[in-house]
Structure 1
Amino acid sequence: MHELAVTRTINAPIAHVWQIMTERLAEWWCPKPWTTEIVRLDRRAGGVSNIVMHGPNGEEHQTPGLILAWSEGHHFAFTDAIAPGLIPAEAFMIGIWAIEAEGDRTRYTAVARHWTEEAMQQHLEMGFHDGWSTVAEQLQSLCEQTAAEA
Structure 2
Amino acid sequence: MSAAIFELSVTCHVAAPREIAWKVWTDLKDQWFCPKPWRAEVIEEDLRSGGRSAVRMFGPDGEDTGPMEGVFLEVVPGEKVVTTDAYASGWIPQTPFMTAIWSFADEGEGTRFTATARHWDAEAMERHKEMGFHPGWDQMAEQFKALCEASAASA
TM-score scaled by length of structure 1:
0.97
Match of 2:91 in 1: 86
Give per-residue Cα distances to partners, 1:14-60, cap 9 Å, x unaligned.
11111111111111101111111111110101101111111111111
Q: CA deviation at 1:79?
A: 0.7
Match of 1:148 in 2: 153
Match of 1:32 in 2: 36
Matched, 1:57 2:61: yes
Q: CA deviation at 1:108?
A: 0.3
Partner SS state of residue 18, structure 1: helix
Distance in 1 (alpha carbons) for counterparts of 2:29 and 2:48 = 16
Q: CA deviation at 1:85?
A: 2.8
Candidates 42, 67, 71, aligned match of 1:66: 71
Q: CA deviation at 1:103?
A: 2.4
Distance in 2 (alpha carbons) for counterparts of 1:13 and 1:40 = 26
> How do 1:1-150 and structure 2 match up within 5 A?
1=3, 2-61=6-65, 62-150=67-155
Percentage of pairs with the same residue: 46
Distance in 2 (alpha carbons) for counterparts of 1:121 and 1:21 = 27
Name the amino acid aligned to 1:144: E
TM-score scaled by length of structure 2:
0.94
Measured on the aligned residues, the alpha-carbon RMSD in Å equals 0.8
Distance in 2 (alpha carbons) for counterparts of 1:103 and 1:7 = 15
Partner SS state of residue 131, structure 1: helix
Partner SS state of residue 60, structure 1: coil
Q: CA deviation at 1:104?
A: 1.5
Query: Any unmatched runs of 5+ in structure 1?
Result: none
Distance in 1 (alpha carbons) for counterparts of 2:89 and 2:56 = 14
CA contact (8 A) 2:7 2:119 kept: yes
Query: Any unmatched runs of 5+ in structure 2?
Result: none
Give per-residue Cα distances to partners, 1:53-92, cap 9 Å, x unaligned.
1111111112111111111011111111101232111100
